[in-house]
Structure 1
Amino acid sequence: MHVPTVPSRLLAGAWLAIAALTVLVVVTAHLDAPDGLLLDVAVGLAALGLCGLLFTRHAVAAALGLAVLAALSPAATPAATAATLQVARSRPLRTALPVAVAGALGHAVQALWHPVPLPLEWWLLCDVAVHAALLGWGAFWQERALVLWSLRDRARRAEAEQEQRVTEARTAERTRIAREMHDTLAHRLSLLAATAGALEYRPDADPVALAAAAGRVRSGVSDALEDLRQVIRLLRADPQDLGHAPTLADVARLVEEARSAGSDVAYDAPPTDVADQVPPGVRRTVFRVVQEGLTNARRHAPSAAVRVDLELADGAARVRVTDDGAGPGTPGVRPRSGTGIGPGSGTGIVGLRERVTLLDGRLDAGARAGGGFVLEAWLPWER
């Protein structure tokens, strides 16, 4: 249970106030009758000493001791009253109630042998009412403090959770941008590297072919710049806005670009009426799978024959990119010299797997049994 704490300055102020009231009670009681002064002074000093224990784990014992002192002398009344309030404020009701009863009984005993300013019946009624009020006030004070503490704790936890959500959102956004950059720029730059490599290692080629290759480089650079602008637009756009959703017709464009760079790629486009039924999210992921497959084949097996298979049936798309060369990760294999393409970062397959998983699909990538490499994805959709 959380016990409300009291600042040290407030504790000192409360003790001084109790001490002043104790002195006032003693002085008032003995202005005209000095009899019993020694007892009242002794009780007052003892009561002030016990006040120091009211804000420790011995508060209940100190309050019961003050109730006993209150039965001996009115000099203990200020301290005993404060004790009832403090116990009610800091302890459960089942503990504070007996303390309040003890305080009321102590003052009732005091009234039996010590002169009081009211008739005994009224004094006892006021005694019970005052201690009941102290008990209720202390319990209310405690509950209020607990509610405030709970609200502050809830606010702190909400702030921490908000910071965590912001961090997760920032990480997800960075991952999304990194995935888009890899999927677009890596493919485009690999085409440029392959074409530039051909220009570098075949300077004796036909001038017409060299001019055509240089034109493809220029066009590729322009396309790469446009892809970069698209990524920058994504940085400034809504997180749900992924820009232009590639169509299945764009898959054919990827194949043509790979062929123009010198790759041997086979592809049969699916019927248009079936392709139109594929949702945008699935179309985009199919496009990215083919893009990654062609890029990997160009990077790791530049002279291999590549085949792209795309099936759209039974509410699912199955896309498969295979090559008959040495796939990525094959021990001892490096890209052929003259391609100008270095080793990949390994993030492409990871990003694809994230895309496919978000669509409840499945992605398989690895070496083929008869040689080569295969990248295959299965993507369901609801008609």
Structure 2
Amino acid sequence: MSELPAGPSSKPARPRRSARDWVVDSVAFAVAVLIGLVLYTDGEQDSVSHWLLAADFYVGMAFCLTLWFRRRWPVQLALVGAVVSAFSESSGIAALMMILTVAIYRPFRITLLVFAANAVCLLAYIEIRNKPDDPAAVLITAAALYVAVAGWGLYIRSRRQLLQTLRDRADRAETVARLEAEQGQLRAREEIAREMHDVLGHRLSLLSVHAGALAYRPDASTEEVAGAAEIIRASAHQALQDLREVIGVLRAPVGELPHPAFADLPALVEGSRAAGIPVELTLDAPGALPEHVGRTAYRIVQEGLTNAVKHAPGEPVRISVTGAPGNGLSVELVNPAPNRRRGDGQGLKGLSERAALVEGRVEHGRTPEGDFRLYAWLPWPA
């Protein structure tokens, strides 16, 4: 019996007989017919008419054939079996199998209904088959058989429901694991995208500044052209190295992505100064800064310098990084801004996301003097 029992309120689907079902149904039919013939032979000794014996045999054998359809109409055939068993002993085993099928495939209340119908027909059987000598023994024996068969069917039903529940839980756990894996991949892609934006954006912005200077200085001396070309070459080489590094970590776990540290902040500023950007740095953050907070501060300064190069090339940039344990870390970048800023704002949006991950905040906008101000506050536990 490969089909699972239908729920209390669900409509059972038409069963599809598997190879195992064919074997089970064949064995059930053969057993019902053989035992039915034995019972019929014993029943010939009852003091009943010949036409009743004939009806017992033919109706009983015909009812055994209905075992092939017991999964499709279990309740209907079980009620028919109860009526037939009232006069036919050869159908007794087939009727018990119908009770077993109802207990497996239908709710408990329907099993009780079929059980009650068989109990009523049992009383009619005692009267019709003229068994006045030991009616109590017949009642007890038949009731014990009914209870045993129904109990066995209920056990099979409960076991199948338990197995189905376990399979459903396993399927749900597999689905949850797959969704978590997809979310992890999405977070990994977002982190890699931020790394590529932060690392390459800064390098390429510096390279663009020097390339633009060469384009707008056709009267530059040979020494100036050579110096600018050398800076462009070094910046392009470093950008290529950064690109190789980012692409290389695509094959590594997300936790192994290379990240800069807060201690690298002065080197970042010196690199911008070497590229010709006047940067004024105020760094006052004594104490052991948490790694994730320091890394976020570095990325904020890096993005601020990148925006300054893109939108206000050659203009001075004032950077202030101050804080202490228990008070938090403040990062501020101020530089002159043109009346119209270009870009889609993805870098600033990424900074807000970075700050939110460490429970900080980012603000940006114009000062009363018309400069552009990028401010971030990051927590620094005591």
Using the size of structure 2 for normalisation, the TM-score is: 0.82
2:289 is aligned with 1:290: no
Residue in 2 that maps onto 1:260: 274
Distance 2:53 2:368 in 1: 108
Secondary structure of the 1:312 match is strand
| Contact 1:30/1:37 (8 A) holds in 2 | no
Distance 1:19 1:255 in 2: 91
Structure 1 pair 243–30 and aligned structure 2 pair: CA distance change class (3 A): closer
2:71 is aligned with 1:55: yes
Residue in 2 that maps onto 1:339: none
Residue in 2 that maps onto 1:96: 111
Residue in 2 that maps onto 1:170: 185
2:204 is aligned with 1:189: yes
Tell me how far 1:222 sits from its aligned partner: 3.0
| Contact 2:201/2:306 (8 A) holds in 1 | yes
Q: For residues 1-383 of structure 1, what are the structure 2 equivalents within 5 Å?
A: 2-3=6-7, 6-8=15-17, 10=21, 14=25, 17-18=28-29, 21-22=32-33, 25=36, 29=40, 34-40=50-56, 43-44=59-60, 47=63, 54-56=70-72, 59-114=74-129, 120-248=135-263, 250-270=264-284, 274-313=285-324, 314-326=326-338, 330=340, 344=343, 346-383=345-382
Identity value in percent: 36
Distance 1:376 1:345 in 2: 19
Question: Quick one: which amino acid aligns to residue 125 of structure 1?
Answer: I
Question: Quick one: which amino acid aligns to residue 87 of structure 2?
Answer: L
| Contact 1:245/1:281 (8 A) holds in 2 | no
CA deviation digits over 1:270-323, x for unaligned, max 9? 2xxx44421121111111111101111111122433221212134311111122
| Contact 1:18/1:78 (8 A) holds in 2 | no
| Contact 1:319/1:376 (8 A) holds in 2 | yes
Distance 1:19 1:237 in 2: 64
| Contact 2:323/2:330 (8 A) holds in 1 | yes
Distance 2:106 2:40 in 1: 33
Tell me how far 1:132 sits from its aligned partner: 1.1
Question: Quick one: which amino acid aligns to residue 255 of structure 1?
Answer: V
Residue in 2 that maps onto 1:337: none
Using the size of structure 1 for normalisation, the TM-score is: 0.82
Tell me how far 1:12 sits from its aligned partner: 9.7
What's the Cα RMSD here? 3.3
Structure 1 pair 36–228 and aligned structure 2 pair: CA distance change class (3 A): same
Which segment is superposed worse, 180-189 or 318-327?
Answer: 318-327
Distance 2:208 2:173 in 1: 50
Distance 1:25 1:107 in 2: 17
Distance 1:187 1:62 in 2: 80
| Contact 1:88/1:138 (8 A) holds in 2 | yes
| Contact 1:245/1:280 (8 A) holds in 2 | no
Distance 2:140 2:94 in 1: 20
Aligned length, in residue pairs: 364
Tell me how far 1:20 sits from its aligned partner: 7.6
Give unpaired runs (5+ residues) of structure 2. Answer: none
